[in-house]
Amino acid sequence: MKSAAVTLFSASLIASAAAHGWVGTLTVNGKKYIGNKPVEQTPHGVPSVVRQISNNLPVKDVTSPALICGRSALPAADVATVPAGATMLFDWNTLSGVWFHNVGPIITYLASCGTESCAEFDATKAKWFKIDQQGQDENGNWAQAKLDNGSPASVTLPANIAPGSYLVRTEIIALHTAQSPGGAEFYPSCSQITVTGSGSGVPAASELVSFPGAYNAKAPGILLDVYDMKTPYQFPGPPVAAFVSGAPPPPAQAPAPARTTPAHTPTSTGTAAKPTGTKVCKNKNGKKSGNGNMGKRERIWARADVPGAEPTASPVAAPAVSRVARVADTRRSRARHGRRVAARSH
């Protein structure tokens, strides 16, 4: 029994490994470029435009550098010349023959190699933009199902793309076990091309992504049960670059406003002037007096009412009046009061 179980387990491992694959052939305008098998890990191997990987196991960690071009991918020796608008055919092979899985999307990105030959370009520095994504058709069949039937994956270059050197990153995401975290299987592959033509289409800066970094392990298109989907499939990563469909580029994101320190506003250490108007107080005899007949203390308090006068402290903080001044003020008030009484008696 134990030997039988070991035999079955070994057989399942072999079958699983045989189901994993790589790009065996890239065909452009009838010309075929052969890709090297992962088991033939020698520098460049057979001259090819397809970057060679170390093994055919899937990438399951979206933070792994293997997500760029595959496990330990090596630069290829050759570069394919491809006119803008041409169709590229990717044949995916496995150790057992054609591609095995049939559930999941096929997504394709490009990255400019700049002025450098893509045969020497470091893919870890690449900034990728999406040019194609294929999910389910109107009947619910996945793009991978075509590979399972032996057909190649077909991707058309944008007709208006600017000429230059590009890495092509085409990717299969197998979703048959994606209902559990880490269950999605990624199979990326990179090929080196030179695009010819007179186009000027380039992606907006906001459409560029890096690998790893472009995918989230919990994104709806990566963590899902494809056998119980309630909504249309959501592709992971950025949208297809706007220039591919002729749409206007997305608006540039405005930079965040710089943080500024507000200017310092001097704070007065004095007491604010009292409101203007006629101050009415009562003298010792209970009579109301206005500005015309107020006492000395009243005049001190009201100096702030006089245009151009220095602001004064509140009544509590008014300068003290000397005893002599208070006595004189009292005598004058009594004298005025006496004159008024005498006038009334006459």
At 335, is the pLDDT very low, low, confident or very high (cuts 50, 70, 90)?
A: low
Please name the residue that has the structure tokens 């990255």: 111
CA dist 204 and 250 (Å) reads 7
How does DSSP classify residue 55?
-
- Domain range summary for the chain, segments of one domain joined by +: 17-245, 281-345
The per-residue pLDDT for range 148-200, each reduced to its tens digit, is 888 999 999 999 999 999 999 999 999 999 999 999 999 999 999 999 999 99
Query: Do residues 106 and 170 touch, judged by C-beta distance below 8 A?
Result: yes
Query: Do residues 310 and 319 touch, judged by C-beta distance below 8 A?
Result: no
The per-residue pLDDT for range 250-266, each reduced to its tens digit, is 776 655 555 555 555 54
pLDDT of 240 > 70? The answer is: yes
CATH fold for domain 17-245: Coagulation Factor XIII; Chain A, domain 1 (2.70.50)
**pTM: predicted TM-score of the whole model, two decimal places:** 0.69
